[in-house]
Amino acid sequence: MSIFSRMTDIINSNINALLDKAEDPEKMVRLIIGEMEEALVEVRTTSARAIADKKELARRQEWLEHEVDEWERKAEVAVKKGRDDLARGALVEKGKAAESVDAIATELQLLEETLAKLSDDTAALQAKIKDAKTRQNAIIIRGKAAQTRLGVKRQLHDANIDDAMERFELYERKMDDLEGQIEAYDMGQKTLADEITDLEGSEEIDEELKQLKARVTGSPTEVPTAPDTGVSSTPVTGTDGQQQN
């Protein structure tokens, strides 16, 4: 498992813990980015140590290769001088140095692979941090909006709100009763101006009614009546059955 994978596990566990606690959205996003930046610092630190180790191994490998050549030269000198025993000892030391060179070569190969993985992890983590920062503002805005809506929903479902609305409706009813009492006192108490206004309104209705009748029946609006002479128009019948004037 690479260092980046371990850092990812740590970050995910921290994110889940923050979500479980329902932290402030802005604070949560900043903490997540902070965790990722800390992971990036650790990856870079590990990469720096690996690069330093690589340089040290490369210097040791170069020195050992020089030792191999030197023991080879010494063996040749011993052979020329007829000292096979010394030549044999030089060849033994040459073999040891050569084995160390091979071991270091293996370590350098593993270190190169590690550095390649660390480079990939660094690039991936940098890309994720850049993406997180790009989306940071949108996430904060959405988080705050969600928290606000959640608070409103909770208040709407709060029993205290229902009680307050009931009291509000009760106060409205009391105001209606007070206004009704005031209007009741004014009933039947018309002023002179009110009575004259009513008369004017009644005359307008009478005039409109006359005009309506004229349009419907086609007759004059008023039917003239005979003047009252004091004499009944009903004929008077005498005892003999004849009419009398």
Taking only the tens place, the pLDDT of each residue in 82-98 is: 998 999 999 999 999 99
In whole angstroms, give the CA distance from residue 69 to residue 45.
37
Which positions ≥6 away from 147 have C-beta within 8 Å?
Answer: 24, 25
Burial (CB < 10 A; 0-12, 13-18, 19+), residue 64, is buried
Higher pLDDT, 80 or 9: 80
The pLDDT, as a whole number, for residue 241 is 46
Among the residue ranges 40-54, 81-95, 136-150, the one predicted with the least confidence is: 136-150
∠ Cα 3 6 11 (to 5°): 120
Neighbouring C-alpha atoms within 13 Å toward the C-beta of 54? 15
Averaged pLDDT of the chain: 76
**Nearest alpha-carbon partner for 95 in 71, 73, 77:** 71
